[in-house]
Structure 1
Amino acid sequence: MTHRHPRGNALAALPLLSCLPLLAVAAEPPSPPTAVAAAAQEVVVEGHYDNAVGTSEAASQGSIRSSLLKSRPALRPGEILEFVPGVIVTQHSGDGKANQYFLRGFNLDHGTDFATTVNGLPVNMPSHGHGQGYSDLNFLIPELVDRIDYRKGPYFAQSGDFSAAGSADIRYRRRLDAPLAQVTFGQRGHRRLLGAGSTRLGGDLTLLGALEVQRNDGPWTVPEDLRRLNGVLTLSGGHGANGWSASAMHYSGRWTATDQVPQRLIDAGTFNGRPFGRFDSLDPTTGGTTRRSSLSGEWRRSTETTSTRLAAYAMAYRLSLYSNFTYALCSDANTPVDAADDCATARTPGEGDQFAQQDRRRVYGLSASHAVEHRLGRWPTTTEVGLQLRHDRLRVGLFDTVARQVVGTTRDDEVRQTQTGLYAQTATRWTPWLRSVVGVRGDQARFDVDSLSNAANSGRASDQLVSPKLSLVFGPWARTELFFNAGRGFHSNDARGTTARVDPRTGDPVDRVPALVAAKGMELGARTEWLPGLQSSVALWQLEFDSELVYVGDAGATEPNRPSRRHGLEWNNRWMPRSWLLVDADLAWSHARFRGPDPDGAGDRIPNAVDRVASVAVTVRELGPWSASLQWRYLGSGALVEDNSVRSRTALTTNLRIGHRLARDTELTLDVFNLFDRRVNDIEYFYPSRVTGEAAPVADRHLHPAEPRTLRLTLLQRF
């Protein structure tokens, strides 16, 4: 959830390092194959993936085609990331809020350490009001996705902030085969309407448009009343590697949330004389509103030996989020609280513990890259250099609220934040069985914080970090490749922590945090297609952070913690025994621990770091007019406290999709989520809370249940 970083002092050294001939990481996945990669492309595996031998620099890197995305159901837009092997996506509050993500032994909270882009736009928000790296994918329209290019680990020079555990680039289509209208009806008030189409405007110009409207109440006792409006408009010209596009996107949403609830009330079955269950709420006014609007453009030009890409974007974003995770910890009418350690702040009795996190920002960015194919002596080589720039201007605050009305200010800040990244990478084929990818990346972050609530926390900070990268690829032998990857990555910290001198609630002195926190990673991997129709990969990995980000339940936020070390094993399989049958099996095991001194004697377990995840899916595609998919999804147990005395329960769910083509351009699809109606949880935490009438805070398990069996029926008409 939370992370830290070692720092370098050498952004200025990057130009010199960039000139070294062996700096390298292959061209970014969407680019055309380089001469080095093309020489290794001896095997093409038919299916929904572009992960054949010779196409990647790591066993845990790959691409997913849109054909697979159509075959499985997704309860929420963000669950499209579950197609990335080893990723699990859940929710611990209302569906208008960013999802909860799990990968490689991380509870990534709402996206920290997993960098995501959609159509070239960054999704993660640094210095966000709710959590560092907040990644809200609710604006995603799955039907427009063309492919997902994913990477895991800090081995790729083009991947910057928040990408230490992994990253995913989600690319939208520029044109559709035919206009479409789609309507979905589901249980508990779910309604969704989508219209999309594209048209040629003359010459090579294409205009694509899509509009989505959705509402949902969910299984909650207090209806979620989720309302979403989403639109995309893209104008493009040219083709593939020689073309351009410009997009306008807008998303708005509002919802009422059911936050996690304490296990003790579920066990009791009653509260204040009324029945109380898993889907009940202790504060019916939590929830929020959000809005995201953007303009972006991209230009690409390629020749036989060069590839150039330019991109720019501007974005306006807002979030008002109201949460209450401790209920009446600080405001019980019968037992006034004196701001004890378990209490975030003393409140007026009867007010409750609701708080608001506000974020309003404008974001501007650009990126450029240039790749050249040449020879290093007699060895074919591709060298790429790139620049990435992002500037955020934001107003961010934390407030005490009652029924969404502000009654007090904890902190209110204006922040200006600029991050610059430069990288260089070189890929060289030394022999028919050995290629190297070596790279270096330099990042600089500058923060300017103006605290409107406490002038002592105003100030400026900056940091810089140099991150070397190395990949070695051996083979193929018998349609099998071996990989070695190593590198340094990082995540940024909240700008407010880099200038803070005093705690905004208590006034006590606090230590500043570094702006950039380094992570070091290493991976050994293999990918094979030795058996016809079966593609398997295995990766043994390790990742160390200089500082871990940990979720604090009673504050609803993340905070820095001790250094950490994770290692694990991933095994991914794609099997096509028949042209119409695909079997996916992804298994991952991880071991996560704090490292170094334990001054408080709390223990070395990292809270909410699950140790096992798995997904097995069987997909039948176009067997006559029928298609179907059955997915088994497993989220393992994890320590909820540092001494491992309390652990989360495992969660096993099964999702089903059955499709029938009624006519050439008409399809009917039935999705069944949680097919066997299992009583499982999306997330569990352990922390103190108090409900009205309790004499003292109670340390307890708090959970947000997964939805019960849910049916949705979709009618699709193409024109």
Structure 2
Amino acid sequence: RLGNTDLTVTSGFSLRHDIVSDLELSKTLNRTTVLENIQLGDLNQTNLGAYANVEFDLGKLKVSSAIRLDYFKFLYHDKLQINYQTLSETKSILSPKLNFYFEAQENLQFYLKSGIGFHSNDARVIVSQNSKDILPKAYGLDVGNIWKPFPKIILNSAMWYLFLEQEFVYVGDAGIVEPSGKSERFGLDLGIRYQFNDWLFFDTDATVTHARSTDDPKGENYIPLAPDFTLTGGLSINNLDNFSGGIRFRYLDDRPANEDNSIVAKGYFVTDFNMNYSLKNVTLGIVIENLFDTEWNETQFATESRLQNETQSVEEIHFTPGTPFFLKAIITYKF
């Protein structure tokens, strides 16, 4: 306690060490014979972290403040260099956060969450940055509520904002992630949970997002593949005469595939189904992915390519087809 205020203190530390040998992107013949190495090297990365969190209980208002210290050491040995060379960088960063939770009523809570983090995902970019923007910061803010207006329904909503000091874009042909400037995102999240009875449940979540680069002119500042609308949900059965399962859907709207939105990544609506029956130690089940056999693209990106009979390359959508109708049977035995 601090005076008349209850407080809870939590602290800890973390250690992570990754060793990845032969990190590679190569041109091959029939996926077996290497024709040309584009990227080839060994990665050695260490992350030490320590954090402390203090939560103050002020009755209906709870305040949580925390800070985290991270230390990184990046080592990368580029095997494509003629002379042996290991590139290295070290960096430390402090990440604070401050959250407020207010219980307006027994069934209604408001919250405000704020924090500063960092964004980085390729050691090869980091060691080539010459100590510039090694761990670019991310600033986030959430304002929302959780409301239970009736015993069997829960509603939650949130408005949020995210600013990144540096956006990163994967360049497939080069096998690297490259910096592409500052960006901001803001949006609205909505969620519903409803219990019809003891065994039937419904849930759905929707997100609306505005994502743009802040360094580029209007109309040329779209963030490729950043979704602007998503919707998920479904019906679930739990323990109905030993049956359980559900039907679920996911929807992703069309979204820009390049910076000026002249190329569009197509959205999709896909439905999955599963059903299980339990009898003592044995569970029998079926899983159906893409119940209605919808044609959809799972991975999509805009890049240049050229066919053998073409003189000029063309920038267009390249994609991995999504899973078609797929049925799987499952037998589980519990010892």
TM-score (norm 1): 0.44
Measure, in 1, the Cα distance between the counterparts of 2:40 and 2:318.
29
Once the two structures are superposed, residues 17-37 of structure 1 have per-residue CA deviations (whole angstroms, 9 ceiling, x without a partner) of: xxxxxxxxxxxxxxxxxxxxx
Give the 3-state SS of the residue equivalent to 1:547 in structure 2: coil
Cross-structure match for 2:73? 446
Q: Which one of 557, 561, 567 corresponds to residue 180 of structure 2? A: 561
Cross-structure match for 1:628? 245
Point out the structure with the larger helix share: 1
Q: Given residue 524 of structure 1, which amino acid in structure 2 is its aligned partner?
A: V
How far the C-alpha of 1:513 sits from its partner, in A, is 5.1
Count of matched residue positions in the alignment of Structure 1 and Structure 2: 332
Contact 1:553 1:686 in 2 (8 A): no
Contact 1:533 1:576 in 2 (8 A): yes
Contact 1:397 1:413 in 2 (8 A): yes
How far the C-alpha of 1:597 sits from its partner, in A, is 4.5
Q: Given residue 54 of structure 2, which amino acid in structure 1 is its aligned partner?
A: T
Q: Given residue 665 of structure 1, which amino acid in structure 2 is its aligned partner?
A: N
Aligned pairs (5 A) from 1:126-165: none
User: For the structure 1 residues 603 and 477, does the alpha-carbon distance in structure 2 shift closer, same or farther, using more than 3 Å as the test?
Assistant: same
User: For the structure 1 residues 656 and 554, does the alpha-carbon distance in structure 2 shift closer, same or farther, using more than 3 Å as the test?
Assistant: same
Q: Which one of 615, 629, 642 corresponds to residue 259 of structure 2? A: 642
- Would you say 1:691 and 2:307 are equivalent positions? yes
Aligned pairs (5 A) from 1:365-444: 375-395=1-21, 396-403=23-30, 404-430=32-58, 432-444=59-71
Give the 3-state SS of the residue equivalent to 2:284 in structure 1: strand
Give the 3-state SS of the residue equivalent to 1:376 in structure 2: coil
Measure, in 1, the Cα distance between the counterparts of 2:265 and 2:78.
38
User: For the structure 1 residues 627 and 392, does the alpha-carbon distance in structure 2 shift closer, same or farther, using more than 3 Å as the test?
Assistant: closer
Cross-structure match for 1:278? none
Cross-structure match for 1:590? 209
Farther-moved stretch of structure 1 (546-555 vs 634-643): 546-555
User: For the structure 1 residues 477 and 559, does the alpha-carbon distance in structure 2 shift closer, same or farther, using more than 3 Å as the test?
Assistant: same
User: For the structure 1 residues 441 and 623, does the alpha-carbon distance in structure 2 shift closer, same or farther, using more than 3 Å as the test?
Assistant: same
Once the two structures are superposed, residues 33-60 of structure 1 have per-residue CA deviations (whole angstroms, 9 ceiling, x without a partner) of: xxxxxxxxxxxxxxxxxxxxxxxxxxxx
Contact 1:495 1:515 in 2 (8 A): no
Contact 1:494 1:515 in 2 (8 A): no
Give the 3-state SS of the residue equivalent to 1:645 in structure 2: coil
Aligned pairs (5 A) from 1:192-341: none
Q: Which has the higher contact order (CA 8 A, sep 6+)?
A: 1
Contact 1:533 1:575 in 2 (8 A): yes
How far the C-alpha of 1:446 sits from its partner, in A, is 1.9
User: For the structure 1 residues 659 and 414, does the alpha-carbon distance in structure 2 shift closer, same or farther, using more than 3 Å as the test?
Assistant: closer
Measure, in 2, the Cα distance between the counterparts of 1:456 and 1:638.
44
Cross-structure match for 1:576? 195
Measure, in 2, the Cα distance between the counterparts of 1:700 and 1:399.
22
Contact 2:76 2:86 in 1 (8 A): yes
Contact 1:458 1:499 in 2 (8 A): no
Contact 2:124 2:176 in 1 (8 A): no
Measure, in 2, the Cα distance between the counterparts of 1:671 and 1:448.
44
Percent identity of paired positions between Structure 1 and Structure 2: 28
Give the 3-state SS of the residue equivalent to 1:567 in structure 2: strand
Measure, in 1, the Cα distance between the counterparts of 2:231 and 2:246.
16
Contact 1:676 1:709 in 2 (8 A): yes
Contact 1:488 1:521 in 2 (8 A): yes
How far the C-alpha of 1:427 sits from its partner, in A, is 0.3
How far the C-alpha of 1:410 sits from its partner, in A, is 3.5
Q: Given residue 205 of structure 2, which amino acid in structure 1 is its aligned partner?
A: D
Give the 3-state SS of the residue equivalent to 1:498 in structure 2: helix
Q: Spell out structure 1 runs of 4+ moving beyond 6 A.
A: none
Measure, in 1, the Cα distance between the counterparts of 2:332 and 2:265.
40
Measure, in 1, the Cα distance between the counterparts of 2:36 and 2:321.
31
Structure 1: runs of 5+ lacking an equivalent: 1-374, 502-510
